[in-house]
Amino acid sequence: MIVASTRGELAVALAGGTGGCLPGRQQKVAAPVILVPTMGALHDGHRALLRRARELAGSGGTVVVSIFVNPLQFGPSEDLDKYPRTLEADLAACEAEGVDLVFAPSVREMYPQEQVVTVDPGPAGEILEGEFRPGFFHGVLTVVLKLFSLVRPDTAVFGQKDAQQLVLVRRMSADFGLGIEIEAVPTVRAADGLALASRNKYLSPEERSVALVLHRALATGAAAVSGGPGAVLIAAQAVLDDAARSLPAGASPRVDYLALADGRSYEPIRNDDFDFHGTAVLAIAARVGTTRLIDNVIVNFFHLDDPEPSDVRDEGQNEKGSSNLGTEPHAADD
C-alpha cells in the first residue's frame, strides 16, 4: 500500500512512477479507480466502504482512500480541533482491507492559499443539515470536488448515513458532468442499533444509552409507512416525546430536526402528501450531551402495483411499501 501526503506524491502514485520517494508501483494504476473519501478515525462503518470499494475495483482495479479532516466544513463553534485523528490506526485498517493508495494530505497541502471559490450546494444544501450547520455543504462539496479532480476516480463510495451529503454529491457529479459514479453503502449499526460514527467516541456510557432513542424513533416511524408521510413522522416523534418524559431533566436528546425528505432531491415531504410515491429518507439530528449525532433510515412509499425503480435496491432498500432498517454499513463527516 502506498501512502501519499502531497499532491505531487499522489500524482506520481497514480501515474505509476516512484519519483524517488514512493516505493512499489512501476505501472500506471489500473482501472477502475475507486475513491473512498474519509476524515479518518475509521470504524467498522468505514471498513464496509473500503470492502465495497475493493469489490467494485476487483482484483485488477485500484482502491484509493483519502484521509483529511476538512476545515471548510466546520463552523467556528464546532469540533475541528478535537475531531479524532488516528492516522496510524487508519492506515492499518486500510492495509487490512486491501487499499492500494492512501492520500493523507495536510491542510496546507489541500488549501495552499485561501479557498476563494467554493461549490454552492443549491437549495437542497441550505435545509436540514445546511440550516443547522451554515456553510457545511459548501465545504463538503468543495473538498469532494477537489479530491475528484486530484484522483479522477471512476467511482466514489459514500455512506448512506450521510444521506443529504450523498444526494448533493450525486447532484454535483451530474450537474458538472464529472462522469463519476456515486455508490452508496448502507449504514452500519452496533448490535443495539446505534449508527456507527467517529463522534460516538465523545459519548459517555450514559449518553450512549440515551442515543439509542434516535434509532428507535426512526424504526418506529418507518414501521408506520402504510399510514403515509404524516403517520411516519407522528410515530417517530412519539418515541422522542416518550423519552423526554421518562428521562431525567436535560438528559433526553435535543433534536435539531426530524424530517422526511425525498430520497432523490432531498426536498421535504409534507405530512399530508399522500400522493408521494418513491424512496424517502426519514432523518434526524440531535445532541446527546454535547455530541451532535445524525441518523436516517430509508422508507419506501409504493403501491403494490407500482413498478419498482431500478435504483432502489442499489441503495440497500427492500420490498415495496417498506423500510430499510438493515444493520449494514457509512463516510465523510464522521
CA distance 109 to 172: 23
Nearest to residue 286, comparing CAs of 244, 329, 330, 224? 244
190: left (phi over 0), alpha (psi -120 to 50) or beta: beta
- Phi/psi for 302 (5° steps) reads -135, 145
In sequence order, the 6+-apart residues with CB closer than 8 A to the CB of 33 are 14, 57, 61, 62, 64, 151, 152, 153, 154, 155
Provide the β-strand partners of residue 159.
185
Q: Which of 46, 138, 215, 330 is catalytic?
A: 46
Distance CA(1)–CA(101), nearest Å, equals 6
**Whether the Cβ atoms of residue 49 and residue 331 lie closer than 8 Å to each other:** yes
277 is catalytic: no
Find out whether the peptide bond into 32 is cis, omega within 30 degrees of 0: yes
185 — phi, psi (to 5°)? -120, 130
Task: Give the whole-angstrom CA distance, residue 63 versus residue 58.
Answer: 9
- Residue 273, classified by CB atoms within 10 Å of its CB into exposed (0-12), middle (13-18) or buried (19+), is middle
What is the side-by-side order of every strand in the sheet holding 254-262?
254-262, 278-288, 291-301, 323-324
Q: Which amino acid is at 183?
A: E
User: Catalytic amino acids?
Assistant: 46
